[in-house]
Chain A
Amino acid sequence: AQKITQTQPGMFVQEKEAVTLDCTYDTSDQSYGLFWYKQPSSGEMIFLIYQGSYDEQNATEGRYSLNFQKARKSANLVISASQLGDSAMYFCAMRGSNYQLIWGAGTKLIIKP
């Protein structure tokens, strides 16, 4: 069965520090995709970054990077130089075999000034 695990229910980080949000996954598929989304209190889902299972390099998008360790089945999100506006829920997700997204439980990130 395919599964996404986020073990950090909540995190407090000082502004301007880097933060790593953990995500591990389980799948028997050879081809899969991993996503990170941000959900602020307004409720919208904001796409942050994508990593394909065959991508040899870690994905990066501005201050976001994905630390992809295929053998360990982990896809941690790294946010560099955190900002107050980064406070939100963060979800890790995996594209399943029928193109549905399988979601982790989420991590609530709070950036302290």
Chain B
Amino acid sequence: GAVVSQHPSRVICKSGTSVKIECRSLDFQATTMFWYRQFPKQSLMLMATSNEGSKATYEQGVEKDKFLINHASLTLSTLTVTSAHPEDSSFYICSADRAIIRNYGYTFGSGTRLTVV
């Protein structure tokens, strides 16, 4: 089945540094990638939608200069958390739209747990 590989799974970084999270579709083309943030015991919060070759669309309240999203190819989308601070600590997960598939399911990466110290 279709797989989205997300790396790293866990990262600890110092406050003020930047962290890049990669999501790679291994056996299909992901024209659209959704990036979510999830706080403990809460639901997923959509941060932005990225389409290959164009600028990402950010949800209201999400700082686009802090959360840089690049979707340069049909198989790779990246989220860079710039100048990270402890409040950016969270679980980040990507999801590729596979609308052409029979079950209309979305394929998720395995998530990245970011801790900023």
Q: Which residues of A contact B (CB under 8 A)?
A: 33, 35, 37, 42-45, 47, 50, 52, 91, 95, 98-101, 103-106, 108
| Number of residues of chain B lying within 8 A (CB) of chain A | 23
Q: Which of B34, B93, B97, B108 has the most CB of A within 10 A?
A: B108
Q: Counting CB contacts under 8 A, is B106 at the interface?
A: yes
Q: Which of B38, B99, B105 contacts A47 (CB 8 A)?
A: B105
State the Cβ distance, A76 to closest chain B Cβ, in Å. 18
**A37 to B99 alpha-carbon distance, docked (Å):** 16
Q: Which chain B residues have a beta carbon within 8 Å of chain A's beta carbons?
A: 32, 34, 38, 41-44, 46, 49, 91, 93, 95, 97, 99, 103-108, 110-111, 113
How far is B67's CA from A47's CA once the two chains are assembled, in angstroms?
27
B32 touches A99 (CB 8 A): yes
- Complex alpha-carbon distance, A42 and B46, angstroms: 20
Q: Contacts A43-B110, A43-B113, A44-B110; is A104 near B103 (CB within 8 Å)?
A: no
Q: How many A-B residue pairs have CB under 8 A?
A: 51
A selection of 30 A-B contacts at a CB cut-off of 8 Å is A33-B104, A35-B105, A37-B108, A43-B38, A43-B91, A43-B93, A43-B110, A43-B113, A44-B111, A45-B93, A45-B95, A45-B108, A47-B105, A47-B106, A47-B107, A50-B104, A52-B104, A91-B43, A91-B44, A98-B49, A99-B32, A99-B97, A100-B34, A101-B34, A101-B95, A101-B106, A103-B43, A105-B42, A105-B43, A106-B43
Chain A residue nearest in CB terms to B1: A47
Say how far A14's CB is from chain B's closest CB, in angstroms: 24
Q: Which B-chain residue is minimally distant from A59 (CB atoms)?
A: B103
- Name the contact of A103 in the complex, choosing from B44, B108, B113 (C-beta under 8 A): B44
- Report how far A70 CA is from B106 CA in the complex, Å: 23
